[in-house]
Amino acid sequence: MTAETQLPQATGSCCSPSGSCHDSAGADAEQGGVTTVYQVSGMTCGHCESAISKEVSAIEGVTSVKAVASTGQVTVASQAPLDEEAVRAAVDEAGYELTGQA
């Protein structure tokens, strides 16, 4: 019975009233800020993904970019909401077209 008692405590300790799980999730949210998914037309391969990622990553405040050619989606994490025109200009510079938010 002791092991059974300890197992729930160990499992529950992560999300105990101290909120350790919730605190780390909050830290991730603070570090990542805002995540926005954009739809981009014209991506067909890994080179396309790389070109878009490079240009969008150069926007001030962007913390990560993931472009997926098969879906045409570009997921951008930033410290604060981005000006869509800045994202559009970066995508255009890479040679593709931002069609809007997904």
Residue 70's alpha-carbon distances to 49, 92, 95, 100, 101, in angstroms, are 10, 19, 17, 17, 16
CATH of residue 83: 3.30.70.100
Residues 9 and 56 in one domain: no
Taking only the tens place, the pLDDT of each residue in 24-47 is: 333 334 454 999 999 999 999 999
Q: How many domains does the chain have?
A: 2
Residues 38 and 76 in one domain: yes
Taking only the tens place, the pLDDT of each residue in 44-82 is: 999 999 999 999 999 999 999 999 999 999 999 999 999
Q: So what's the pLDDT on residue 10?
A: 40
Dihedral sign (CA 25, 28, 33, 38): negative
What residue numbers bound the domain in which 90 lies? 33-102
Residues 53 and 74 in one domain: yes
Residues 101 and 54 in one domain: yes
Residues 81 and 101 in one domain: yes
Residues 87 and 71 in one domain: yes
